[in-house]
Structure 1
């Protein structure tokens, strides 16, 4: 087999057959090329969508639920509908005790304030938070650190500001850590500067939760909470159980769906993940179907070629060529065409992904981020193409071995 593979006469005959049918060969190669090109581009685009999704939600604990209090829509146990509900730190303690499924629980308070640094000032949202927030939503710190437990215990007058706030209140390249800014006539020491992620809740600056409650006279009331479940927890049931417990604590009708608002990030991410999985399945289906169609086109072309070369095959058989040699040549031609088409398809596909990344993957708001295809997947697709090319080549190869020298010469 290897001797036959490196025989110059074999390749001369293959080249001669391709040269006689240039147009037909080019059309055949384009059919297979398009199949693997489409597979590469679609897989790369799907990966770009997945990367962009991870970039948007990457700093969040994805199995999280956000809960806030609203007004009741039903009367219950002597209370009229329309009653305003307030979440408290007592609710937080009870939820931590009752739910072993909780991994992180971050109570939050928020207010708007004018912040001043010398002659510069601006209106910003200040949030009172615990250090656990950095675990639920990881902060991309540029300078300094985030709030720690000592800040909470000491009710420290410290603040972590975002990058835009830093640019508005400080001079360019001025080092902010250790400097003081003023909010509500109180001096806060800047301990950190962070870069906002793709998802935020209107937060511009963070101070210790205990400091916030004291400065803004919130007592034990909180604005809302972020709850992250342990891995493997049914996030939808978890959300329902949390809200039902809060309804019991605040004497709200269990069927009242307005008293507590919530946003289930796990559910929303699950929808996007399901879409991406479906997209990848569709990509493989379309790509492989197109590959198979292209390979079948090669088989049809070779069948026509065998018929056109009946006299040539008959002469080769008459001068001693064995059926195996005839079969090997036809199969080799099939594999050669699929290999050339596959390599060109991969190259063109990679070039198109480069263009997609250049035009759609850059900037502050990319559409497809780093649309690439893993090399093992490319190799699997390429070898699958070669296997299909070999199998489809067996059909015309078998037909070629059926040609009898005398009948072939008589037909011509």
Structure 2
């Protein structure tokens, strides 16, 4: 391999170093071994760096040890792999200019979806392969895989947002029912205020303000609980699960702001019915009410 390969397939160097340009230029017989290779070839507590291993009869010096950043079967395969300089491989195993596979990454302003067809077309021209022959080279595009993952995550976000809105709406309905009961219990209070000169708009403003405050307080408590739960999940995955996918989960600030906006809108909507009921009570009837 070459030094830049680690930028395409990141690995964690736990001991020593990775292949460098000096190894490539001088065709050094050095290697970087996976954690499982070290476990098999070296005893417990034995120093691997500087040690020698034999690959198909050729002796290599261990320059580094790495652990995989992948999961599942890919992580197991990575841990059993050995990296050596590409030029050393050509010389030691007499492979000449033959290349079994290559890995490419695009620059920031060139999407990989545009680069991949150009690379394949260039290879077809260089190897005199018909342009319509799509089976001559095997290829795998990480950009396409990433698009699929992003589309799945996007769909999950939409579903989560929809479910969250339904839950918020259900909460607002409950708060509205509570406010209706409160309005019934405060009938005499509203009658007294009306008789003292309070306008219907003042009554409406009071009820809507109380309903909105109740909604925001309840919603904020829910947001704080959700953030705390996410932090707990992050702590648990960091300490008890070797998972990069669920590592360091975070709550989007935009989502928190959106939730608060929805709370305010639903709170105002939920306050309409109690407010209308409060001003619909005639002062005379309110003063005659019990309590």
Which TM class, normalised by the smaller chain length? 0.7 to 0.9
Deviation at 1:221, TM superposition (A): 0.6
Unpaired stretches in structure 2, ≥5 consecutive residues: none
1:185 aligns with 2:57: yes
Tell me the distance in 2 between the aligned counterparts of 1:252 and 1:283. 48
Whichever structure has more strand as a proportion of its residues is 1
CA distance in 1, matches of 2:118, 2:201: 72
Instruction: Indicate yes or no: 2:133 matched with 1:256.
Output: yes
Alignment pair present for 1:278 and 2:155:
yes
1:400 to 278, 282, 286: 278
> Contact conserved, 2:230 with 2:251, CA < 8 A, in 1?
no
SS of match in other structure, 1:160:
strand
The answer to whether residue 191 in structure 2 is matched with residue 314 in structure 1 is yes
Cα–Cα, structure 1 residues 366 and 182, in superposed 2: closer, same or farther, change >3 Å?
Answer: closer
Pick from 116, 121, 133 the counterpart of residue 5 of structure 2.
133
1:194 maps to what in 2? 66
C-alpha displacement of 1:375 = 5.6
Which residue of 69, 86, 91 maps to 1:214? 91
Per-residue CA deviations over 1:252-295 (Å, capped at 9, x if unaligned) read 22222221111111111111112212222232233124323432
Q: Is 1:205 aligned to 2:82, yes or no?
A: yes
Q: Specify the alignment match of 2:26 in structure 1.
A: 154
Structure 1 residues 153 and 355, CA, compared in 2 at 3 Å: closer, same or farther?
Answer: closer
Provide the rounded CA distance (Å) in 1 between the counterparts of 2:148 and 2:284.
67
Task: For 2:225 and 2:19, locate their aligned partners in 1 and report how far apart those are by CA, in whole Å.
Answer: 51
Against the structure 1 CA distance between its residues 227 and 278, is the aligned structure 2 distance closer, same or farther, given a 3 Å change threshold? Answer: same
Q: Separation in 1 of the partners of 2:274 and 2:198? A: 17
> In the TM superposition, what is the alpha-carbon distance from 1:348 to its structure 2 partner?
4.4
Pick the aligned partner of 1:176 from 48, 51, 68: 48
- Aligned residue pairs total 284
2:161 and 2:128 mapped to 1: Cα distance?
53
What is residue 241 of structure 2 aligned with on the other side? 363
CA drift at 1:312: 4.4
Q: Any conservation in 2 of the 1:157–1:207 contact (CA below 8 Å)?
A: yes
Distance 2:13 2:286 in 1: 80
Tell me which protein shows more helix as a share of its residues. Answer: 2
Q: Partners in 1 of 2:10 and 2:237 — Cα distance?
A: 26
Structure 1 counterpart SS, 2:53? strand
Contact kept, 8 Å, 2:34 with 2:66, in 1: the verdict is yes
Residues 69 and 244 in structure 2, CA contact (< 8 A), matched pair in contact too = no
Give the RMSD, CA atoms, in angstroms.
Answer: 3.1
**Contact map agreement 2:23 2:85 (CA 8 A) in 1:** yes
Instruction: Give me the whole-angstrom Cα distance separating, in 2, the residues matched to 1:167 and 1:341.
Output: 54
Secondary structure of the corresponding residue to residue 255 of structure 1:
coil
2:216 equivalent in structure 1? 339
**CA contact under 8 A between 1:136 and 1:228: conserved in structure 2?**
yes
Against the structure 1 CA distance between its residues 196 and 244, is the aligned structure 2 distance closer, same or farther, given a 3 Å change threshold?
same
Q: CA deviation at 1:324?
A: 5.2
Equivalent residues in 2 for 1:224-263 (5 A)? 224-263=101-140
Residue 153 of structure 1, CA deviation: 1.8
Q: Relative CO higher for 1 or 2, CA cutoff 8 Å, sep ≥ 6?
A: 1
